[in-house]
Amino acid sequence: MKIAIIGVGNLGYSIALGIVGQSDIDVESLYLSKRNTSTLSLFEHIPNVTITSDNLEAVKNSNVIILAVQPGQFDNVVESIKPVLDPKQHCIVSAVTGRNIEHIENLIGKEYPIIRSMPNTAISVSQSMTCLSANKLGQENINCGKQIFNSLGKTLYIEEDLMQAATVICASGIAFWMRLIRATSQGAVQLGFDAAEAQELAMQTALGAASLLVKSETSHPEQEIDKVTTPMGCTISGLNEMEHQGMSSALIRGLVKSYEKINEIKN
């Protein structure tokens, strides 16, 4: 694959890190394009990686075009690369929030494979949960997206009308889980651990909890909770207090609030 990432900011940079750190993807070349390339020095001496501020050069020399600019920058960027787009050469993979497939087709035409993707920043460590949807040609070429995103975590193909919800759960979800881990660290410091120890305890326990579900056959959180909550013990006391304080409710309401906000972004 010859890949171009157009817009190498928070997300594009994470995708680039994932791609260069992953030997499972057969990448012949990787173009990283943004206006100010000084932030890309980490990639300077990596074989097959070209850093450029020329989007047209990146697109001409690639066949998978990953778009990772801000929604407000998207239309101008797509219009500017349109003259060098070729439906026989290019598969378009957009990671841009709130710009749906119909919108992209209206900009470039229906004759392109278009894959809409929603990765998260854990793609930099090959642990993204990436949701994908596609137009008809994109579905026929879905392997070009799956080859990349399956190597950098897991993928789920979804109907496009679930993409906003997927963004909240998976992409914003990184921030939500970080805050839960941070709050656990703060509690651990109050209970006597130093900051570094506290973070290690919080991180590894979060990883362990998720791994139990990923690896077990039963895969239901409440079954794992039952194993830990000794009758009249400390776990159930703490857990019930958290629920009295609205933990599940706060999380669900936060997810719904994010969803309401993302739906305010106009196509």
Ligand X SMILES: NC(=O)C1=CN([C@@H]2O[C@H](COP(=O)(O)OP(=O)(O)OC[C@H]3O[C@@H](n4cnc5c(N)ncnc54)[C@H](OP(=O)(O)O)[C@@H]3O)[C@@H](O)[C@H]2O)C=CC1
Binding residues (CB under 6 A) for ligand A1CAB: these are 97, 167, 171-172
Residue 58: enclosing H or E segment and its boundaries?
helix 55-60
Residue 49: enclosing H or E segment and its boundaries?
strand 49-52
Min dist. Cβ of residue 64 to ligand A1CAB (A): 21
Task: Give 33 or 97: the residue with its C-beta nearer to ligand A1CAB.
Answer: 97
Find out whether 55 and 249 touch, Cβ atoms under 8 Å.
no
**Residue 121 site contact among ligand A1CAB, ligand X, none (CB < 5 to 8 Å, cut-off depends on kind):** ligand X
Q: How far is CA 141 from the centre of its chain?
A: 20
Q: Which of 120, 124, 141, 185 binds ligand X (CB under 6 A)?
A: 120
In the chain, the amino acid numbered 242 is M
Min dist. Cβ of residue 65 to ligand X (A): 12
Q: Which of 69, 148, 152, 169 binds ligand X (CB under 6 A)?
A: 69
Tell me which stretch binds ligand X (CB under 6 A): 4-12, 83-91, 128-136, 247-255: 4-12
With contacts defined by CB under 6 A, how many residues of the chain interact with ligand X?
A: 26
CA-based Rg of the chain, rounded to a whole angstrom?
Answer: 21
Token pair in block for residue 84:
């060098």
Q: Which of 3, 4, 5, 6 binds ligand X (CB under 6 A)?
A: 6
**Residue 17 site contact among ligand A1CAB, ligand X, none (CB < 5 to 8 Å, cut-off depends on kind):** none
Task: Give 35 or 215: the residue with its C-beta nearer to ligand X.
Answer: 35
What is residue 66's three-state secondary structure?
A: strand
Backbone angles phi, psi at 46, to 5 degrees: -85, 125
Distances (CA, A) of 224 to 146, 211, 230: 32, 11, 12
Separation of alpha carbons 105 and 21, rounded Å: 32
Tell me which stretch binds ligand X (CB under 6 A): 29-37, 140-148, 153-161, 176-184: 29-37
Task: Give 154 or 261: the residue with its C-beta nearer to ligand A1CAB.
Answer: 261
Asked if 100 interacts with ligand X (CB under 6 A), we say no
The residues near 208 (Cβ < 8 Å, ≥ 6 apart) are none
What is residue 78's three-state secondary structure?
A: helix
The residues near 235 (Cβ < 8 Å, ≥ 6 apart) are 228, 229
Q: Which of residues 244-263 bind ligand X (CB under 6 A)?
A: none
Min dist. Cβ of residue 171 to ligand A1CAB (A): 4
Q: Which of residues 146-175 bind ligand X (CB under 6 A)?
A: 171
**Residue 7 site contact among ligand A1CAB, ligand X, none (CB < 5 to 8 Å, cut-off depends on kind):** ligand X
DSSP, res 68: -
Residues that bind ligand X (CB under 6 A): 6-12, 33-36, 55, 68-71, 73, 77, 95-97, 118-121, 171
